[in-house]
Structure 1
Amino acid sequence: RWGRGFGLLGSIFGKDSAINQSNSVFGLVFYILQMLLGMTASAVAALILMTSSIVSVVGSLYLAYILYFVLKEFCIVCVLTYLLNFILFIINYKRLVYLNEAWKRQLQPKQE
């Protein structure tokens, strides 16, 4: 139940819905998005990276809750994935702050 659509999408859209994919499909899309958008200095890319990182951390907290309190299990791969998502969140936050400062410097009039 919890391995597809985060245990939520099947009850909302139906078990056979195209959106009720395995959690690994959503993870794969997320990590590919992080990798590709991470190669650009675009403001839009930085915002997408930050937003998707926030969603991944919230999703990780939800899945960690399910793992520990509902399933009463411990999965080292799962916990490492949650940790990776949190690290990506921190990296994307620092990247956004750095790019924001760089853009501000570019917009300031140059004094000679």
Structure 2
Amino acid sequence: MCDVSAHMSCSKVFTSRFGRGFGLLEYVVGRNSVLNQPNSVFGVVFYVTVFLCGLLPGRACGLTCLYMSILSNVGSVYLACILYFVLYDFCFVCVTTYVINAFLLVCSICRLWVQDLGAKLKVQ
């Protein structure tokens, strides 16, 4: 992985209990449940869904991207707090993911803004 030092270790983060099910699902569905997957599995599902919604036209897809991006940013803040205050670590992969999620939120907002602007121009 990208282990640079004792406090800059992606392996430490990915192998912690917070690296699976966001550290929460094990309390809901059990540690050995099929639903308690590594966070990366949830990330792949999220990014594929946002990508596919981004290809499709329409306000519903735009809103889906927006809501999913908001949820991912809430998750990013939660995981960033865990990273800093609980694990006392810095993970390049994690922080890059947080930045990408913030960028996707901005893109989702811009998409809806452009769609709304286009709809207003068509009405006039």
Say yes or no: does 1:33 pair with 2:49.
yes
- Secondary structure at the aligned position of 2:57 is classed as coil
Counterpart-to-counterpart distance in 1, 2:26 and 2:119? 43
Counterpart-to-counterpart distance in 1, 2:117 and 2:56? 16
User: Once structures 1 and 2 are overlaid, which stretch shifts more, 12-21 or 38-47?
Assistant: 12-21
Which residue among 45, 66, 71 is the counterpart of 2:82? 66
Which residue among 60, 63, 78 is the counterpart of 2:94? 78
- 1:94 corresponds in structure 2 to 110
Unmatched 5+ stretches in structure 2:
1-16
Say yes or no: does 1:4 pair with 2:30.
no
- Secondary structure at the aligned position of 1:73 is classed as coil
Tell me how far 1:74 sits from its aligned partner. Answer: 0.5
> TM-score with structure 1 length normalisation?
0.90
- Mapped contact 1:46–1:96 kept (Cα < 8 A): yes
Which residue among 17, 22, 29 is the counterpart of 1:13? 29
Say yes or no: does 1:22 pair with 2:51.
no
CA RMSD of aligned residues (A): 1.2
Give 4+ residue runs of structure 1 displaced > 4 Å after superposition: none
Aligned residues: 108
Tell me how far 1:15 sits from its aligned partner. Answer: 1.4
Counterpart-to-counterpart distance in 2, 1:5 and 1:72? 20
Counterpart-to-counterpart distance in 1, 2:54 and 2:97? 18
Q: Which has the higher contact order (CA 8 A, sep 6+)?
A: 2
- Residue 58 of structure 1 aligns with an amino acid whose one-letter code is V
- Mapped contact 1:41–1:99 kept (Cα < 8 A): no
> TM-score with structure 2 length normalisation?
0.82
- Secondary structure at the aligned position of 1:55 is classed as helix
- Mapped contact 1:37–1:46 kept (Cα < 8 A): yes
